[in-house]
Structure formats: C-alpha cells, structure tokens
C-alpha cells in the first residue's frame, strides 16, 4: 500500500509540474496548487513514517509552500468573488 501511495503522491506533484512547464496551468492556479499540496503532503507523511529525514525536509517544505500559496489564492478569490466560494444558502419555499 505504501508503494501505491508513493506513486500517487509523485504522480500528483509531477502532473502539476509538467502541466506548468507546458503552459497548460499557471503556477498560481488552484489546480496546480491543489495537486502539489496533496502530492507533496502524501509524500511528506510517508517520509515521516519511514524516517526518511532528507525526503521529509524536501516534501514537507514543498507541501508547506504550496499550502501557503493555496491559502493565499483562496483568500484572494474570496475577496474578489465571495459569491462563488460560499454555499448557496437560499431556502426553497413550499407553496
């Protein structure tokens, strides 16, 4: 199971990287930041469990930077278009 999780994490990080390098996504886009945060987060947890300190440093830092950027982008989106990020709170009335 650990091998599968490692592959999934690596594929997520690499997919974001390749897409960014090919110009398919912006390095500040939600899609890029989400796959990087998830992929590097999975790899960081696995490195911690395996006591692979150098790998933990690399993936932990990668995850932290991606997460901070993701929070920043979500905050900007909320300020610019708050109606797109909140749940629809309208209630339906019965006639």
| Residue range 54-76: mean pLDDT, rounded | 96
Residue-level pLDDT at 80: 86
Q: Judging by beta carbons within 10 Å of its beta carbon (0-12, 13-18, 19+), is residue 66 exposed, middle or buried?
A: buried
Report which of residues 81 and 71 the model is more confident about. 71
| pTM over cut 0.85 | no
Domain ranges for the chain: 2-84
Share of the chain above pLDDT 70, in %: 85
DSSP 24: S
Query: From the CB of residue 30, how many other CB atoms can be counted at a distance below 10 Å?
Result: 13
Q: Which pair of tokens denotes residue 84?
A: 């797109």
């Amino acid at each position: 199971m650990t091998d599968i999780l490692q592959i999934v994490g690596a594929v997520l990080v690499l997919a974001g990287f390749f897409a960014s390098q090919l110009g398919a996504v912006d390095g500040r886009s939600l899609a890029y930041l989400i796959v990087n945060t998830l992929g590097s987060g999975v790899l960081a947890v696995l490195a911690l469990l395996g006591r692979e300190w150098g790998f933990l440093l690399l993936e932990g830092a990668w995850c932290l930077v991606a997460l901070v950027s993701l929070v920043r982008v979500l905050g900007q989106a909320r300020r610019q278009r708050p109606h797109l990020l909140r749940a629809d709170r309208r209630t339906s009335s019965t006639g």
